[in-house]
Amino acid sequence: MPTVGVKRDELFAALGQTYTDEEFDVLCFEFGIELDDITSEKQLKQREQGGAKDHSEHSDAVLYKIDVPANRYDLLCVEGIARALRIFLEKERPPVYRLAPRAAGPHQITVKPSTKNPNRVRRVLSFFTLRQLVRPFVVSAILRDVQFTPERYARSVGAFWVIAVVSMD
């Protein structure tokens, strides 16, 4: 199961309610996910690199490390977790997505030949084989009316990469 790190205060703001750590742990259990750890960026770096180094540049903001099912790509970011929990708590109705008519004009996706360059791919992720990273097809979508802040954009780029890697045969 993937573990997603989310800032507690940001999650609670998106939920529109605050919880104690115990209450949130129970909510996670009832929903079917697991609150794995309660920590901070500073504590994570101290564990990874040892306590001797100065980690003052890292935040003391509380981080929840949440285990989510591997087949729930919508739970790989704070916005997705918050939406799913709001729906579970019946504070929000599930979204209804629709396929919109195609906008006028051609749509084109270009894949450069360098995409298949084995040296470039190995620099990206050396622990995957070339066969795992290069496929003879491309999938894309056009999303309209999506609002991004710099933080949301940074999170979504990572989530899309995870989706691409996890979705491979």
User: What SS3 state is found at 113?
Assistant: helix
Amino acid letter, 6: V
Alpha helices for the chain (secondary structure H): 8-15, 21-31, 41-49, 78-88, 118-124, 130-133, 150-166
Q: What is the pLDDT of residue 48?
A: 76
Copy the structure tokens of residue 162.
């995870």
Instruction: Return d(Cα 71, Cα 46) in angstroms, integer.
Output: 31
Tell me the whole-structure pTM to 2 decimals. Answer: 0.66
**Residue 27's pLDDT is what?**
97
Give per-10-residue mean pLDDT for the chain (169 aa): 91 96 97 93 78 68 93 90 97 88 78 64 49 62 76 64 41
pLDDT score at 118: 56
Report how far residue 142's alpha carbon sits from residue 100's, in angstroms, rounded to the nearest whole number: 10
pLDDT of res. 168: 39
Per-residue pLDDT at 163: 43
Residue 48 backbone dihedrals phi, psi, to 5 degrees: -70, -45
**Domains of the chain, each with CATH number or no CATH:** 3-88 (3.30.56.10), 113-166 (no CATH)
Which of 5, 13, 9, 3 minimizes the C-alpha distance to 21? 9
